[in-house]
Amino acid sequence: MSMEVELQNPGGLQRVLRVSVPAERFDNAVDKRLRQLGTRAKVPGFRPGKAPLKVVRQQYGEQARADAISEIVRETWPEAMQQAEVSPAGQPSFEVADETQGQPLVYSASFEVYPEITLADLEKVAVERPVAEVTDEDVDRLVENLRQSKRRLETVPRAAAEGDSVRIDFVGRMDGEAFNGGSGENQEVEIGAGKFLPDLEQGLIGHAAGEEFDVTLTFPEDYQAEDLRGREAVFSVSMKEVNEVQLPEIDSEFLQAHSVDPEAGLEGLRTKCREALEREQKKASRNKLKAAVMDQLLEMHEFDVPQAMVNDEIGRLRQETAERFNAAQLSAEQLQQMIPDELLQPQGSRRVSLGLLLGELIRQHNIELDEARFEQTLDELASEYDEPEKVKQHYRSQPQMLQGIRAMVIEEQVIDHVLASATVTDKTVPLQELLNQQGGQQ
């Protein structure tokens, strides 16, 4: 007598597979397990392994049945899936319905299946590609940023001026009462940088170390703290130190530190900065275009996603977040409390949806990994390090890393495949705007 299976559809992606295993197979599995237990069973009145099967059954029958059930479910489940022609999305939940001796073993498995996705017409995809010209001003800004990164502070015995970095203590009051978040000690403030309230920064100008003074200001109407918006406050400030920012000269030492031939001088540095900005512009434009394609593909395709897959993705997102904030040492329960599922559900669902959608595009359009592009990507990744060949060898020795790179490359191939049919319109934007958008996406 063969195994019987019945596939039930409660609704949505949920499925229940009811499996009935012949009684003979079940009973034989129990007897086999009892005989195995009997070879080492210690039963009072008998030498080890010499107790009759009837006695062993009395003492170890329940354990033998439990072990046999686990074994049969494990053995028959793949066969049952094949017979029912179903592929679960995630691990099933098993429940034994009937384990009566002499009767078929009946168990059910609850699980979700993958959604059926009907691909839309890719010619209906219409996206904007942001492009930006790298101007002389952009190059000048990057050169200045490089100088700023090597700056040093020199304490000066004069009043603070625009561009100085000062160290202050301050207490903010409203109607004579201090308010939460309105005080600080030994705070570094770069006047004109805009990291503090602009009126407060400007109020520091003209005051030298050792001075104590008040700065009266009105909080902006769009201030992040709603209870402070539009309200007047008085900050009592104690100037502790005034530092003048000293920027390095663009000399041989500075150029060599940025891998520029000293003989090339400032123009050599500017050329390198322009090339770096052009690479960043190209990368940012591609990423913005890719994001637009992904968003539009999701809008064009509506389908349910298996919650089991979303739950797995939520776990990965939680771990990524923990590692990003150096909290990986926390227990699973602590991470769950700190980063609850509800917070990650939208992003997890989006990732799963995109993965299923891209997978369907790969399958229906027969997209295969471009090995040449894979090797090129590997070269590009390794070129960012001092010893590229050693880095490539390391990548090749790590199957998980290689799989990640392959997935990244084939995803790019899918995007190119979609763009080949899509309508793409170039939109010119300032470079800073494009790069700032890129930073926000990351």
Q: Tell me: the pLDDT tens digits for 377-433?
A: 999 899 888 788 999 999 999 999 999 999 999 999 999 999 999 999 999 999 999
Q: Which segments of 161-231 are extended strands (E)? A: 165-174, 177-190, 212-218
Q: What pLDDT shows up at residue 441? A: 45
Q: Does the pLDDT at position 276 exceed 50?
A: yes
Q: Give the phi and the psi of residue 277 in degrees, each rounded to 5.
A: -65, -35
Q: What residue ranges of the chain are covered by domains with CATH 1.10.3120.10? A: 255-441
Q: pLDDT per residue over 144-190, tens digit each?
A: 999 999 999 999 999 999 999 999 999 999 988 998 888 999 999 99
Place 67 in a pLDDT band, splitting at 50, 70 and 90.
Answer: confident
364-385 average pLDDT score = 92
pLDDT-derived band at 140 (thresholds 50, 70, 90) equals very high
Mean of pLDDT values over 83-93: 93
Question: Which backbone phi and psi does 231 adopt, to 5 degrees?
Answer: -95, 150
Give the pLDDT band of residue 275 (cuts 50, 70, 90). Answer: very high
pLDDT at residue 268 tops 70 = yes
Structure tokens at 47: 């030498």
Main-chain phi, psi angles of 328, to 5 degrees: -65, -20
Name the CATH architecture for the domain at 4-112: 2-Layer Sandwich (3.30)
* 290-318: pLDDT as tens digits: 999 999 999 999 999 999 999 999 999 99
- How confident is the model at residue 56, as a pLDDT? 58
What is residue 96's predicted lDDT score, i.e. its pLDDT?
92
Percent of the chain past pLDDT 90, that is, above it, reads 73
What residues does CATH 3.10.50.40 cover in the chain?
152-246
Q: Mean pLDDT over all residues of the chain?
A: 90
pLDDT for 331 equals: 84
From CA 64, how far away is CA 70, in angstroms rounded?
Answer: 10
Query: What is the reported pLDDT for 173?
Result: 94
Cα(76)–Cα(109) distance, rounded to whole angstroms? Answer: 12
Q: Which CATH architecture has domain 255-441?
A: Orthogonal Bundle (1.10)
For the stretch 342-356, pLDDT in tens is 999 999 999 999 999
**Model confidence at 442: pLDDT above 50:** no
State how far the Cα of 176 lies from the Cα of 358, in Å rounded to an integer.
Answer: 61
Say what the pLDDT of residue 40 is: 65
Query: Is-contact 142 124, C-beta < 8 A?
Result: no
Question: Helix 265-300 crosses helix 341-364 at what angle (to 10 degrees)?
Answer: 90
Say what the pLDDT of residue 240 is: 96
- Per-residue confidence (pLDDT) for residue 439, from 0 to 100: 46
In which order are the strands placed within the sheet that holds 105-112?
4-11, 14-21, 105-112, 93-98
Task: Tell me which DSSP letter residue 115 carries.
Answer: P
According to the model, what pLDDT value does residue 322 have? 86
Half-sphere exposure of 278 (CA within 13 A, CB side): 8
Question: Does residue 48 have a pLDDT over 90?
Answer: no
Runs of H (alpha helix) within 114-251: 136-149, 198-203
Query: What does DSSP assign to residue 283?
Result: H
Q: Is residue 328 predicted with pLDDT exceeding 90? A: no
User: 276: which 2 tokens?
Assistant: 């770096």
Could you tell me the pTM of the whole model? Answer: 0.75
Question: What pLDDT does residue 97 have?
Answer: 87
pLDDT above 70 coverage of the chain, percent: 93
CATH 3.10.50.40 correct for 152-246: yes
